[in-house]
């Protein structure tokens, strides 16, 4: 049996900085920041009471959730979703790229979240919400006598379904009732469910898809998106509330003067409150500093729409100690004898010295734990050597790989992202790579947010980019028209169309304009692969966290400038095919895909060793198998042997049995 010191030598730091990044609660696994129930318990109970009130009276309300940077607002939203899983439906609204499309953005992310399956359930929130509507649950005595299975009857008869819903909600003023109720019916059919969700989230569907759904048009405008979202409330007269969580507001669209366009969100909220939408709880999560800096820019009448402000208070040292104990528990249970203190090798005195006021934030507690644990580990390895700073680049590359894997699992097709989001991600990547004169909205009108311009690297020429994946070819025709007008007025530009979707057959007007622009000219069509989206979306996710002051790597809070420098130093965006085709980065040599995968695994192994200082070989392989389940133990062991042969790492106890081997990094001399 191993002592606590032996286990500390071989284990990964339980306060590893790569776990300090948090975001969308349907995408991020909740870690231990809120496994201590007493942390922010008052705020949780207060919000639970508001949810219960809305459940009873169905009147929408808005809460501002405020706290200092590092107080754990994003974690708190995740805990709220987890704890109130059976009391409400939860939607996480990511920062919007363009305020001109804010309603379409909110609708898209609301439906995306409703498509998620809550813990402990087998069906999506959307289906649970649909089945709980009063059209199914409230029936007259006559209905119960003659038809005791209204769900099965209505699911088999689309017209009767629509008729029943229109009759049930005849006083609600449903927008585009035939189409809306018809698409709700299509949700019941497993084959039509994905297409029905695409319509509800505002995809610009092809004519063929619209015919399948028996609807005339997609949700194309801000007004239509607002009305469809309102429909969810209009028929939610008996269901649980829908909680819309707005987070990371530091990353939202900005006004021409560079300030955050918070007014757009508060205008949305005022419309919801003034028109008395049913059954919504809007949570606006914001740091106290950002609110102080921007509150005077919000119309006073819109501020009045806030029902309550809930502050996330700083935590006590007892709560901080409990937080440490939770993180250290997996190490302690391996030790024999078990440590007397649940926070060994840390002490309560460490907390008292660091936080003499007796209060602090969860992030500061976790970071202090990381540094003290690492110092102790280095001391028991070799007390004669000074403490080493964690390799920031190695820690960043570990975080990048982890985030990239999450993005790969979440985004399985390009159209999950809107055109404004895609063009925003491209602009952010260009800025990170120090491309000059990046400007949004090259086009004018409806498709302005589909476009940007920049100055080609090492050249004095302007480049225009239009990105559209709308499957409706009438929309494609309109985009090509707008593109042609831009070319006519900007003859000095090279234009790139980025589009993986079909461009239609040669007889269609949109294809004819497309061919005249992008065939045999200085203009080019790039067909993006899904991997390109993964690269840009990974950077976008990390950037949102950095802008929200939530990105901590190797104990450092990373801002936008720090993150951009790490992006350039690591070259992680050089693998992005779209950036290669635009000539922003050099195209890499084609190599065997299997070899490429193993190179990525090998980089992970080396970076993990660098950040830990010392790690057990078995622990190293186990962590690698979690990150790369496609490889086996033997392959992981072989890659470590390669690192040993290359003298990048060494075994510090070669005379011990192989399962007990400890690996450390060998710095270059």
CB-side neighbour CA atoms (13 Å) of 468: 28
Across the range 85-102, mean pLDDT stands at: 96
Q: Annotate 150-184 with b (16+ C-beta within 10 A) or e (fewer).
A: beeebeeebeebbebbbebbeebebbbbbbbbbbb
Indicate if 368 and 513 belong to the same structural domain: no
Checking if the pLDDT of 588 tops 90, the result is: no
For residue 142, pLDDT beyond 70: no
- Residue where a domain stops, chosen among 216, 239, 262: 239
Handedness of CA 498, 502, 506, 512 (dihedral sign): negative
pLDDT at residue 593 greater than cutoff 50 = no
Per-residue DSSP letters for 366-390? HHHHHHHHHHHHHHHH-TTSPPPPP
Q: Are strands 308-311 and 462-467 parallel, antiparallel or unpaired?
A: unpaired
Q: Does the pLDDT at position 86 exceed 80?
A: yes
How is residue 462 annotated by DSSP?
E
Could you report the per-residue pLDDT of 230-270, keeping only the tens digit for each? 999 999 988 999 999 999 999 999 999 999 999 999 999 99
Residue 300: helix, strand or coil by DSSP? helix
Question: Where do we find the tokens 């028929």?
Answer: 235
Q: Are residues 430 and 542 in the same domain?
A: yes
pLDDT at 389: 66
CB 118 within 8 A of CB 269: no
Pick from 148-152, 548-552, 567-571: least confident: 148-152
For the chain, the average pLDDT equals 91
The CA angle 479-483-489, to the nearest 5 degrees, is 150
Q: Are strands 556-557 and 649-651 parallel, antiparallel or unpaired?
A: unpaired
Residue 74 located in a structural domain:
no
Q: Can you tell me whether residue 258 is helix, strand or coil?
A: coil
Helix (H, G, I), strand (E, B) or coil at 359: strand
10 lies in the same domain as 150: no
Residue 661, token pair as written in the block: 């081997």
What's the CA dihedral at 27, 32, 37, 41 to 10 degrees? -60
614, 567: one domain: no
CA 396 to chain CA mean position, Å: 18
- Tell me whether residue 557 is in a domain: yes
Contact 63, 281 (CB under 8 A): yes
Q: Are residues 14 and 156 in the same domain?
A: no
Q: Is residue 653 part of a domain?
A: yes
User: Is residue 652 assigned to a domain?
Assistant: yes
Least confident of 12-26, 103-117, 359-373, 381-395: 12-26
Q: Where are the beta strands (DSSP E) in 248-305?
A: 280-287
Instruction: Please state, for a pLDDT cut of 70, what percent of the chain lies above it.
Output: 91
pLDDT at 481 > cutoff 50: yes
249 domain residue, yes or no: no
- The residue segments making up the domain with residue 176 are 133-239
Confidence of residue 638 (pLDDT cuts 50, 70, 90): very high
What are the φ/ψ torsions at residue 90 (nearest 5 degrees)?
A: -115, 135
pLDDT tens readout for residues 306-326 = 999 999 999 999 999 999 999
**Residues with Cβ within 8 Å of residue 637, at least 6 apart in sequence:** 617, 621
532: pLDDT strictly greater than 80: yes
Q: Encode pLDDT of 537-560 as tens digits.
A: 999 999 999 999 999 998 899 999
Q: What does the pLDDT read at residue 387? A: 58
**Count of CA atoms in the C-beta half-sphere (13 A) of 266:** 21
Distance between CA atoms of residues 256 and 260, nearest Å: 9
Beta strand pairing call for 89-93 and 308-311: unpaired
Q: How many CB atoms lie within 10 A of CB 140?
A: 8
Domain co-membership, 433 together with 555:
yes
As a whole number of angstroms, the distance between CA 350 and CA 100 comes to 50
Query: Is the bond preceding 372 in cis, omega lying within 30 degrees of 0?
Result: no
d(CA 329, CA 549): 28
Alpha-carbon distance 497 to 100, whole Å? 22
Please tell me whether residue 49 adopts helix, strand or coil conformation: helix
Instruction: Indicate whether 125 belongs to any domain.
Output: no
Q: How confident is the model at residue 32 (pLDDT cuts 50, 70, 90)?
A: very low
Separation CA 352–CA 258 (nearest Å): 41
Q: At what angle do helices 392-410 and 593-612 cross, to 10 degrees?
A: 130
Token code pair at residue 453: 């311009």
How many helices (H) and strands (E) are present in the chain, helices listed first?
A: 29, 17
Please report the DSSP string for 476-533 in residue order. HHHHHHHHHHHHHH-TT-EEEEE--S----TTSHHHHHHHHHHSSSS-EEE---HHHH
- Is 115 contained in some domain? no
Quote the CA–CA distance of 377 and 371 in Å, as a whole number.
10
Predicted pLDDT of residue 591: 47
Residues 582 and 597 in one domain: no
Would you say 194 and 166 are in contact if contact means Cβ atoms under 8 Å apart?
Answer: no
119: its two tokens:
């813990």
CATH number at residue 637: 1.10.10.10
Same domain as 545, residue 608: no
End position of a domain, from candidates 239, 265, 287 = 239
Residues 157 and 211 in one domain: yes
Q: Please work out, in degrees rounded to the nearest 5, the angle formed at the alpha carbon of residue 424 by the alpha carbons of 271 and 528.
A: 130
The pLDDT confidence band at residue 33, using thresholds 50, 70 and 90, is very low
Q: Is the pLDDT of residue 512 over 90?
A: yes
Residue 180 and residue 214 share a domain: yes
Task: Quick: pLDDT tens for 191-216.
Answer: 999 999 999 999 999 999 999 999 99
562 and 429 assigned to the same domain: yes
Number of domains in the chain: 4
Q: Is the pLDDT of residue 271 over 80?
A: yes
Residue 253 lies in a domain: no
pLDDT > 90 fraction of the chain, expressed in percent and rounded: 83
Contact of 259 with 253, CB cutoff 8 Å: no
Question: How confident is the model over 633-648, as a mean pLDDT?
Answer: 96
**Alpha-helical runs (H) found in 121-280:** 125-131, 134-137, 141-146, 150-155, 158-168, 177-186, 193-200, 207-213, 222-234, 262-274
Report the C-alpha gap between 304 and 661 in whole angstroms: 63
Domain C-terminal end among 586, 617, 642: 586
pLDDT of residue 633 exceeding 60: yes
Residues 381 and 450 reside in one and the same domain: no
């Amino acid at each position: 049996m191993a002592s606590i010191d032996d286990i500390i030598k071989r284990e990964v730091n339980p306060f590893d900085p790569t776990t300090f990044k948090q975001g969308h609660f349907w995408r991020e696994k909740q870690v231990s920041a809120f496994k201590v129930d007493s942390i922010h318990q008052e705020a949780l109970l207060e919000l639970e009471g508001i949810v219960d009130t809305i459940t009873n009276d169905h009147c929408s309300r808005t809460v501002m959730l405020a706290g200092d940077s590092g107080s754990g607002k994003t974690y708190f939203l995740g805990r709220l979703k987890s704890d109130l899983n059976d009391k409400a439906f939860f939607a996480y609204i990511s920062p919007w790229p363009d305020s001109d499309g804010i309603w379409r953005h909110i609708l898209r992310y609301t439906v995306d979240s409703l498509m998620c399956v809550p813990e402990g359930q087998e069906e999506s929130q959307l289906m649970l919400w649909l089945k709980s509507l009063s059209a199914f649950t409230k029936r007259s005595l006559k209905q119960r006598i003659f038809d005791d299975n209204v769900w099965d009857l209505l699911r088999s008869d689309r017209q009767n379904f629509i008729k029943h819903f229109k009759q049930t909600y005849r006083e609600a003023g449903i927008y585009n009732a035939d189409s809306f109720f018809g698409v709700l019916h299509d949700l019941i059919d497993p084959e039509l469910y994905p297409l029905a969700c695409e319509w509800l989230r505002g995809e610009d569907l092809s004519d063929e898809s619209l015919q399948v759904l028996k609807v005339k048009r997609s949700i194309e405008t801000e007004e239509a998106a607002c009305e469809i979202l309102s429909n969810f409330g209009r028929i939610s007269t008996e269901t649980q509330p829908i909680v819309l969580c707005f987070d990371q507001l530091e990353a939202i669209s900005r006004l021409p003067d560079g300030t955050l366009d918070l007014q757009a969100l508060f205008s949305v909220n005022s419309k919801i409150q003034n028109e008395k939408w049913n059954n919504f709880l809007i949570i606006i999560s914001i740091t106290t500093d950002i609110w102080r800096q921007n509150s005077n820019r919000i119309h006073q009448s819109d501020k009045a729409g806030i029902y309550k402000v809930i502050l996330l208070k700083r935590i006590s040292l007892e709560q901080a100690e409990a937080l440490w104990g939770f993180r250290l528990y997996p190490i302690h249970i391996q030790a024999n004898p078990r440590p007397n203190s649940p926070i060994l090798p840390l002490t309560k005195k460490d907390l008292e010295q660091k936080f003499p006021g007796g209060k602090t934030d969860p992030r500061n507690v976790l970071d202090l734990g990381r540094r003290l644990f690492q110092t102790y580990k280095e001391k028991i390895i070799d007390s004669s050597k000074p403490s080493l700073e964690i390799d920031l680049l190695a820690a960043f590359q570990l975080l990048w790989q982890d985030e990239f894997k999450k993005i790969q699992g979440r985004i399985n097709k390009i159209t999950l992202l809107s055109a404004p989001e895609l063009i925003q991600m491209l602009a952010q990547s260009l800025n990170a790579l120090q491309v000059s004169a990046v400007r949004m909205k090259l086009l004018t009108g409806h498709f302005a947010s589909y476009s940007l311009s920049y100055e080609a690297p090492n050249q004095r020429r302007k480049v225009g980019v239009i990105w559209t994946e709308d499957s409706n070819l009438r929309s494609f025709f309109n985009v090509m028209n707008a593109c042609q007008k831009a070319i006519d007025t900007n003859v000095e530009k090279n234009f790139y169309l980025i589009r993986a979707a079909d461009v239609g057959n040669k007889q269609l007007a949109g294809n004819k304009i497309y061919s005249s622009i992008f065939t045999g000219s200085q203009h080019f069509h790039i067909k993006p692969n899904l991997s390109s989206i993964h690269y840009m979306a990974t950077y976008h996710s990390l950037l949102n966290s950095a802008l929200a002051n939530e990105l901590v790597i190797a104990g450092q809070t990373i801002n936008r400038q720090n993150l951009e420098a790490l992006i350039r130093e690591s070259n992680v965006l050089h693998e992005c095919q779209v950036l290669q085709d635009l000539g922003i980065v050099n195209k890499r040599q084609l190599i065997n895909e299997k070899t490429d995968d193993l190179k990525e695994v090998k980089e992970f192994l080396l970076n993990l060793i660098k950040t830990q200082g010392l790690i057990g070989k078995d622990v190293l392989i186990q962590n690698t198998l979690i990150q790369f389940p496609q490889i086996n133990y033997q392959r992981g062991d072989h890659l470590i042997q390669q690192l040993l042969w290359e003298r990048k790492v060494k075994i510090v106890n070669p005379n011990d049995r192989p399962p007990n081997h400890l690996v450390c990094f060998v710095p270059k001399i």
